[in-house]
Amino acid sequence: MKIFYPFILFLAGVFAIEGAKAQVNSEKELVERIITILQAGDDSSYAALFPTFTMMSDLAATYQPRDSFQIDRINRLRVNVRRLAQFDPEQNPRIIDMMNFVRKKGADSGVHWGDILIAKYELDKQRLPYELIGFELIAPLRMQGYIFIRDMLTRRRYGIAVKDIYMMDGKWYGGLVLNILEAGSEAEYEEALADEERELKRLMVLKKQGLLDSVLAARDSIRKSKMYAASTNEDEEDEGAEAEPMYKDIADRKLYTGYFDKQVEVELYIRFIKGTCPEEICSFEAMYKFGDLDEYIVLEVERKPDGTFVMTEEELGVMELKLQGNTFTGTWTSVRDKTEYEAYLKEKEELRDRKLYKLDKTYEEMRWR
């Protein structure tokens, strides 16, 4: 028996570690583990933070709805249960890839991963994607936000964007890291992100001109101190400057709120884009969301010669709206069963710049993800 005793202790330790990985009791503990794992670059421990597809599908299958509303929503999740595979690292390798991307970008930007400490973290409610209606029943708390760290060697602060943090069955799981930028607050992070996005657009111009092989490679090492990549000569810099008008010129931004059939709340955001057509406005960009959802849905927009706006949501529905003054009226028609709803949407006036910035940021993230 004494011969097997060390082996038994070893197994007990292994099982205790494995169990501890999956049983995180608070978002604070989960954040601390994410940072510890980033310090070590341990992708197996990182993968263990996430719920398995089997666990999530079992929770969806055994959930007991309390009313007809919950019955409808949990059934929609059960029909779309394969979408939950996106949260399982075994079925979605991008989760591990993103962790490695953040570690590499941080190292390229001067982060000493072995010498970092958590300064603070800020988490907010995460939007529920349209295709995951019902997920909120098995994951009642869904968070995203930022973890701010301090490099003890350089005294610099960095912000790490993170999403897909979920509380399920009383425990906390997930923590998909997205990006790292030099910042000490959410406002500083968003400012740095805007700078990075402008630089990425400029790099795309250089790539089209044949002056850059890979925008993705350049993105790994973008820093504030090197926010402008050097061209080979002044002529090339001039060419890059001339290419700037290639980017869309947004003439106006408007937010409309209203209802379908006077019951379903709808919010519609439209950007009016200038161009070289005879009219001042040549194209439109739009997204909308419904009252019981947090996630916006990108729309393809066309304006007919008679002025009718046709806004299409891929594979789901089409809106045909007429704009009279500050009000849209028309219909939304389901692609599946041709059910038609009356639409009434009125412009929301006096929007704050902060709100417009967030709407723009949401649209760009959804358009390019």
Q: pLDDT, tens digit, for every residue of 309-336?
A: 999 987 778 999 999 999 999 999 887 7
Residues 6+ apart with CB under 8 A from 298: 286, 287, 363, 366, 367
Between residues 18 and 143, which one has the greater pLDDT? 143
Q: Which two tokens stand for residue 174?
A: 């997930």
Q: What pLDDT was estimated at residue 357?
A: 81
Instruction: Tell me what percent of the residues of the chain surpass a pLDDT of 70.
Output: 80
Q: Identify the structural domains of the chain with CATH numbers, from first to last.
A: 12-184 (no CATH), 190-246 (no CATH), 249-368 (2.40.128)
pLDDT at residue 279 tops 60:
yes
Q: Which residues make Cβ contacts (< 8 Å) with residue 355, sequence separation at least 6?
A: 255
pTM for this entry: 0.57
State residue 227's pLDDT score.
38
Q: For residue 173, what pLDDT band results from cuts at 50, 70 and 90?
A: very high
**Tell me: the pLDDT tens digits for 65-123?**
988 888 988 999 999 999 999 999 999 999 999 999 999 999 988 899 999 999 999 99
The radius of gyration of the chain from alpha carbons, rounded to an integer in Å, stands at 24
